[in-house]
Amino acid sequence: MQRAVFENGQFYKIIVSVFCKMTLLEMGYRHMAGAIEEKDNRLKRSMKSRHMFMISLGGAIGTGLFVSTGYLINQAGPGGVVLAYLAGGLLMYLVMLCLAELAVVMPVTGSFQAYTTKFIGPATGFTIGWLYWINWIVAVGSEWVGAGILMTRWFPDVPSWVWIALFIVLMFLLNAFSASLFAESEFWFSSIKVTTIMLFILLGLAAIVGLMPFEGLNAAPIHSGFAHDGGLFPHGFIPVFMTMVAVNFSYQGTELIGIAAGESENPEESVPRATRNTIWRILFLFVASVFVLSSLIPWREAGLTDSPFVLVFDKMGIPFAADIMNFVILTALLSASNSGLYASSRMLWALSKSNMASPYLSKLTPQGVPFRALIVSAVIASLALISSVVAPGTVFLWLSGISGFAGIMVWMGVALSQYVFRRRFIAEGNSVHDLKYRVRLFPFVPILAIILCIVALVGLAFDQQQKIALYYGIPFTIICYLIHYLFYRHKRPKQEQTGRNL
């Protein structure tokens, strides 16, 4: 189906057209505002606390939950998948605590790239920054393809490349004018996803206790999923471990709060508040959803449908269940691409400000948008999209492998940076009470987070579907270190980006 997107070279023409319009738009900015002076080359702090919370919350809620959960239930069993989501939630919890402490002390857009540069080393910061950028570039391209395909359900006569081109332009415009416009759009995208999940949990619990009819079950079906056909762990405990590796990727996206901290109105208050709210709400939404799915769907049936949510809604007798979930998944894809374009453009800008990418990319519009970095990110994401069809077994496979590896490396970098920062902070004669937000149970929290990240990396080697991440992620990491050593090791990061001396 994806190949139809590129029939007659139409999509290539769209990409060229969009790129030209982006360039003209940048020329318009310069015409209106004149040359952008270096003293004004700073991002605008315009995001409110509610934006920070919903950006982080929405960043983690995507197709991993709405589509992939069925496969995980089938592989690990009803009890195993709940246990896996609890374990993945623990790692997310630990990393978010570490990130919050760093983000309050250094509320910069480069976030983990800036932290690893300062507290681990410039070569590691360089590598983490480029890994994270590629991670989102690949994700954005894939999400655009998925969104275009979903639209063909309602408009089968309209080629999917038309929708893809429309979504590219829409997401670009939401990011091009101001951070507040992006934040507001993401707030409403995320609200749709969260509302749907809450409604699903409430209806599911009603069905579990017998207050709502459920097809094929005459009584409260809570035991149907957990007590029958092999019980909690029908395949044993080894598949549970393998599922834990996959679940870690479902929680990735919560770290967007670190990127957004550089554009928050009051990071000292909004970052800790958003972190606390995000952690517990994400855990509840994910674990409760998986519990409902595992209770209502026999594990042998899970994974046989495109979305387990559709199956549950259908059995509840909800009309137009497939169309409702098609809309919600479409919203999730657009939300993820919106956040991904934001994150990738800010990371590319941060790399440029740190002398780890071309200085051309460090310029901002008068509204504080890294427009050049945004153009480059959008165009490369479009090329990644094209590679998913033109070269799925080579270029896109390579990019996807790096993307899968990047998330765990970023989380490990956050935990290690917080560990080094705290030790350095105390060694310089400071007190932990001087920190406006601090991780308790130090050094247990960052050390456990690092150990769990290492376990996840080791687990990749035993998962046939995900070990490709190691095959491409490790060589790319080595190449990044070599490139930094050969071309960037004598360029010192700018103080503005890496923060004050600590």
Give the rounded percent of residues in the chain with a pLDDT score beyond 70: 84
pLDDT-derived band at 342 (thresholds 50, 70, 90) equals very high
Contact call for residues 141 and 167 (beta carbons, < 8 A)? no
Alpha helices for 227-319 (secondary structure H) = 238-251, 256-260, 267-296, 308-316
- Alpha carbon dihedral 451, 455, 458, 459, in 10-degree steps, equals -170
* Burial profile 466-477: b = 16 or more Cβ within 10 angstroms, e = fewer: bebbbebbeebb
Whole-angstrom distance, CA of residue 43 vs CA of residue 61? 27
Of the candidates 345, 50, 340, the one whose C-alpha atom is nearest the C-alpha of residue 187 is: 50
Across 67-76, 188-197, 358-367, 407-416, least confident range: 67-76
Q: Which residues, in sequence order, are CB contacts of 419 under 8 Å at separation 6+? A: 98, 442, 443, 446, 447, 450
pLDDT-derived band at 6 (thresholds 50, 70, 90) equals very low
State the pLDDT at residue 66. Answer: 81
Domains of the chain: 2-29+43-491 (1.20.1740.10)
Contact call for residues 373 and 361 (beta carbons, < 8 A)? yes
Across 29-33, 104-108, 177-181, 263-267, least confident range: 29-33
Per DSSP, 264 falls in state B
Whole-angstrom distance, CA of residue 66 vs CA of residue 248? 15
Whole-angstrom distance, CA of residue 328 vs CA of residue 325? 5
Please determine, for residue 502, whether its predicted confidence score (pLDDT) is greater than 80: no
Computed from CA positions of residues 476, 482, 488, 493, in that sequence, does the dihedral angle turn out positive or negative? positive
Mean pLDDT, rounded, for 138-156: 87
Token pair of 136 as six digits: 């989102």
Task: Identify any residues that bridge with 47 across adjacent strands, giving them in sequence order.
Answer: 264
pLDDT-derived band at 208 (thresholds 50, 70, 90) equals confident
Q: Which amino acid is at 166?
A: L
- Would you give the end-to-end CA distance of the chain in angstroms? 53
Across 253-257, 358-362, 458-462, 470-474, least confident range: 458-462
Q: Tokens 């674990």 belong to which residue? A: 287
State the pLDDT at residue 100. Answer: 93
pLDDT-derived band at 23 (thresholds 50, 70, 90) equals very low
24, 182, 222, 354, 486 from 345: Cα distances, Å: 18, 12, 46, 14, 25
Whole-angstrom distance, CA of residue 464 vs CA of residue 470? 11
Of the candidates 145, 166, 151, 71, the one whose C-alpha atom is nearest the C-alpha of residue 326 is: 151
Please determine, for residue 282, whether its predicted confidence score (pLDDT) is greater than 60: yes
Whole-angstrom distance, CA of residue 210 vs CA of residue 212? 5
Find the helix packing angle between 122-151 and 468-483, rounded to 10°: 140
Give the rounded percent of residues in the chain with a pLDDT score beyond 90: 35
Please determine, for residue 133, whether its predicted confidence score (pLDDT) is greater than 90: yes
Mean pLDDT, rounded, for 309-329: 85
Whole-angstrom distance, CA of residue 404 vs CA of residue 158? 32
State the pLDDT at residue 348. Answer: 95
Please determine, for residue 13, whether its predicted confidence score (pLDDT) is greater than 60: no
State the pLDDT at residue 29. Answer: 36
State the pLDDT at residue 17. Answer: 47
Q: Which amino acid is at 320?
A: F
State the pLDDT at residue 30. Answer: 35
**Radius of gyration, CA atoms only, the chain:** 23
Please determine, for residue 360, whether its predicted confidence score (pLDDT) is greater than 90: yes
Element of type H or E holding 63: helix 63-66
Mean pLDDT, rounded, for 346-374: 93
The model's pTM: 0.84
Q: Would you tell me how many other CB atoms lie within 10 Å of the CB of residue 155?
A: 11
Q: Report residue 263 CA to chain centroid gap.
A: 18
Higher confidence at residue 64 or residue 438?
Answer: 438
Number of residues assigned to the chain: 502
Q: Whole-number mean pLDDT of the chain?
A: 82
Element of type H or E holding 136: helix 122-151
pLDDT-derived band at 396 (thresholds 50, 70, 90) equals low
State the pLDDT at residue 356. Answer: 94
* Burial profile 2-29: b = 16 or more Cβ within 10 angstroms, e = fewer: beebbeeeebeebbeebeeebeebbeeb
Contact call for residues 226 and 314 (beta carbons, < 8 A)? no
Mean pLDDT, rounded, for 39-50: 68
Please determine, for residue 31, whether its predicted confidence score (pLDDT) is greater than 80: no
Most confident of 36-50, 233-247, 300-314, 406-420: 406-420
